[in-house]
A and B are shown apart, each in its own frame.
Chain A
């Protein structure tokens, strides 16, 4: 039996499942304690290298999926997917979805009275390269009201979904924009304890910005990292023999 290297536990920046400011967590979060289990093959394996077979090829430009350009301000979002040791996570998929420039989702259950854009769906997908880098093009999403409490507005955000190398590294998050005053009063962003909430705020970057074309924002995603240095598989095999 080969030794299994697990992933590090949640760090202090992960929000609790019960965050009463976000009202929907009250009836939907477990009340009984989680049962701690050791990580085995089930938790440390995952469908790596299978993205295109499962989901299809990448869709890195959300502004060219329809007959014409969508309304709104075109932006570039770029960054890296890393583990906790700062090492790149290559060849992993990041799924993307968001509202349009007016803050309206294409979803039928979004009934807010802001215009839909026939030229914008808001769904994309990118695969990281050998250095863990990714980049996609989209339009800057708008803020929108929601029913959580009186006069509640979500800050502009882009949803990002990553599986990483294993079942244990699954992460869904939201990327916010710098200098958005709504972040301060948003119960979902503020489910993350300070100062870690700010990990979710992207940075404007003039190097990523393309002249006369689009503003650029940087956002790195950090997944749980291996719990120990992997054993040297080239030279340590004798130790594994019975």
Chain B
């Protein structure tokens, strides 16, 4: 065979031979007008927390806001902390997401009309701090300690980092099967502590007291 053939076309997204998980890419530094909506960090009320509307003009705010929530029951709490990089510097362009059960330990099932969904999103401020208003989650099942799943996105993060927040005062922490998988000397990085009126949970991306991140 001497006839000429065209070079194979460059592989792309539609190539069946390349089918598989879409690779993760960073959110970059400019996600604030695209992801964190006003009220995204207030899971129980109607405060504007979570967005960074200071980073773009008001007529470019497109993100809407959640419907007003009514009838959310449970122990109202604030969770806050600072996100730090490997040099101990605050991370001003991170995005924190949380996912949690309600006060009865049940996850939102798509039809619950109580107003509590359990998903929240907060951008860090220029000082690296984030803050959520939510309710304290209940125990999902016996033998597990109440916890909140946390995802960390941001500039410099090629893919999401996943961790959990536990509450320092809960006795079931001692028997929680996930905490048991964490080396004992690092468990402390997953425990929120009451500081003033808020539960304090810092997220250290790297270095001394690096937060435990999970492979889920």
Contacts of A66 on B, CB cut-off 8 Å? Answer: 59
User: Please, how many angstroms separate the alpha-carbon atoms of A235 and B57 in the complex?
Assistant: 56
Contacts of B119 on A, CB cut-off 8 Å? Answer: 46-47, 50, 54, 163
Given A25-B157, A27-B156, A188-B158, CB of A199 within 8 Å of CB of B20 = yes
Q: Which 3 A-B pairs have the closest CB atoms?
A: A56-B64, A97-B34, A24-B156
Contact B13 A220 (CB under 8 A): yes
Whether a CB of chain B sits under 8 angstroms from the CB of A129 is no
Contact with B56, one of A10, A19, A39, A108 (Cβ below 8 angstroms): A108
- Closest beta carbon of chain A to B193's beta carbon, Å: 21
Whether a CB of chain B sits under 8 angstroms from the CB of A230 is no
By beta carbon, the residue of chain A nearest B14 is A203
Q: Which of A163-181 contact B (CB under 8 A)?
A: 163, 167-168, 170-175, 178
The 0/1 profile, CB within 8 Å of A marked 1, for residues 23-67 of chain B is 111111111111101001000000000000011110110111111
User: Please, how many angstroms separate the alpha-carbon atoms of A25 and B183 in the complex?
Assistant: 25
User: Can you name 13 extra interface pairs (CB under 8 A) apart from A86-B19, A121-B60?
Assistant: A27-B85, A27-B87, A30-B161, A36-B181, A40-B178, A53-B66, A53-B67, A59-B62, A95-B34, A95-B35, A97-B35, A122-B34, A199-B20
Q: Which of A36-88 contact B (CB under 8 A)?
A: 36-43, 45-50, 53-57, 59, 65-66, 79, 84, 86
Contact with A109, one of B30, B162, B210, B211 (Cβ below 8 angstroms): B30
- Closest beta carbon of chain A to B82's beta carbon, Å: 14
Whether a CB of chain B sits under 8 angstroms from the CB of A218 is yes
* Tier of interface size on chain B: 35 or more
Contacts of B21 on A, CB cut-off 8 Å? Answer: 10-11, 13-14, 84, 222-224
Contacts of A53 on B, CB cut-off 8 Å? Answer: 66-67, 117
User: Please, how many angstroms separate the alpha-carbon atoms of A193 and B62 in the complex?
Assistant: 35
Contact B155 A107 (CB under 8 A): no
User: Please, how many angstroms separate the alpha-carbon atoms of A189 and B108 in the complex?
Assistant: 35
Contact with A28, one of B55, B57, B85, B101 (Cβ below 8 angstroms): B85
Contact B156 A222 (CB under 8 A): no
Contact with A56, one of B65, B157, B205 (Cβ below 8 angstroms): B65
By beta carbon, the residue of chain A nearest B156 is A24
Can you list 27 A-B contacts (CB < 8 A)? A1-B141, A12-B20, A13-B23, A16-B158, A27-B85, A27-B205, A28-B205, A29-B205, A30-B206, A40-B144, A50-B108, A53-B117, A79-B13, A95-B35, A108-B55, A108-B56, A121-B60, A159-B28, A163-B119, A196-B23, A197-B23, A198-B12, A198-B13, A200-B22, A201-B11, A220-B22, A221-B22
Contact A55 B66 (CB under 8 A): yes
Whether a CB of chain B sits under 8 angstroms from the CB of A153 is no
Contact B10 A178 (CB under 8 A): yes
Contacts of A1 on B, CB cut-off 8 Å? Answer: 141
